[in-house]
């Protein structure tokens, strides 16, 4: 009888150990993603995700990235898997990733869903606030098994934002137009992380009230807003 009990108990303990060893996080679409072990072959499908993965200590685990992934400098050496708007699925599959970090509002979802259908683990990243950036660093570090580095980066980021908030708390507000893209002319509304960056540094996004995250606008509307400062992004 004792032998029978141990015979039942040992498989249960093995299953419990496997469950405890799994790496689980919740992504920015509120989906739970679980890996059997920390990822060792990561592909990032946006320049922002590439930068955050490196900051979280996962640079050595990265095997691919999209075009414009140029920071930190080491990211330039990664094999390219297309652009964030048009993925090269064959290149993705050839790199045999065990984790794909997708950009929910930027990547073509049918292509990303195709990768999921093929059994590849996908984490959807969409940080909209600075608090989300810190959380993303912690999640990426957990997925890559680099928790100590990621936690340090997250804590440093939070501290840096606090310094900026205090520095510009009483500064005169500056109206700002942020240009995401030139042709077509595009900007961001208040829901975008860039808009919070403008606000933290004492600015006011002149297109904050537009209904879409990254709307197309006309040159005439920019002239009508008459911003005190114009900031242009690096991909337009």
pLDDT tens-digit map of 147-192: 999 999 999 999 999 999 999 999 999 999 999 988 899 999 999 9
Using a cut of 0.85, tell me whether the model's pTM lies above it: no
pLDDT in tens, 205-227: 999 999 999 999 999 999 999 99
Q: Are 204 and 175 in contact (CB under 8 A)?
A: yes
The owner of tokens 């077509």 is: 184
Kind of pairing, strands 23-26 and 32-35? antiparallel
**Residue 79 token pair:** 């094999």
Please tell me the CATH superfamily of domain 19-160, with its number: Nitrogenase molybdenum iron protein domain (3.40.50.1980)
Contacts of 217 (CB under 8 A, 6+ apart): 185, 186, 187, 207, 210
Instruction: Over range 57-62, report the average pLDDT.
Output: 98
Same fold, 19-160 and 174-232: yes
Q: Where are the domains of the chain?
A: 19-160, 174-232
How far is the C-alpha of 42 from the C-alpha of 203, rounded, in Å? 36
Number of neighbours of residue 166 by Cβ within 10 angstroms: 9
Q: Which fold has domain 174-232?
A: Rossmann fold (3.40.50)
- Banded pLDDT at 113 (limits 50, 70, 90): very high
């Amino acid at each position: 009888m004792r032998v029978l009990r141990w015979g039942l108990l040992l498989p249960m303990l093995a299953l419990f150990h496997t469950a405890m060893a799994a790496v689980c996080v919740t992504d920015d679409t509120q989906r739970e993603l679980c890996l059997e072990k920390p990822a060792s072959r990561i592909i990032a499908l946006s320049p922002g995700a590439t930068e955050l993965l490196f900051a979280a200590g996962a640079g050595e685990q990265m095997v691919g990235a999209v075009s414009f992934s140029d920071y930190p400098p080491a990211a330039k050496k990664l094999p390219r898997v297309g652009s964030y708007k048009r993925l090269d699925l064959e290149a993705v599959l050839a790199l045999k990733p065990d984790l794909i970090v997708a950009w929910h509002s930027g990547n073509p979802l049918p292509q990303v869903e195709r990768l999921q259908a093929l059994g590849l683990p996908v984490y959807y990243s969409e940080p909209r606030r600075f608090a989300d950036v810190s959380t993303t660093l912690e999640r990426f570090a957990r997925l890559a098994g680099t928790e100590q580095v990621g936690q340090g980066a997250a804590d440093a980021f939070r501290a840096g934002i606090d310094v900026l908030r205090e520095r510009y708390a009483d500064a005169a507000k500056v109206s700002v137009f942020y240009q995401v893209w030139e042709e077509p002319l595009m900007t961001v509304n208040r829901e975008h992380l860039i808009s919070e960056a403008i606000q933290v540094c004492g600015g006011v996004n002149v297109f904050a009230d537009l209904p879409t995250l990254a709307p197309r606008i006309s040159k005439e509307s920019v002239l009508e807003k008459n911003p005190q400062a114009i900031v242009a992004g690096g991909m337009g």
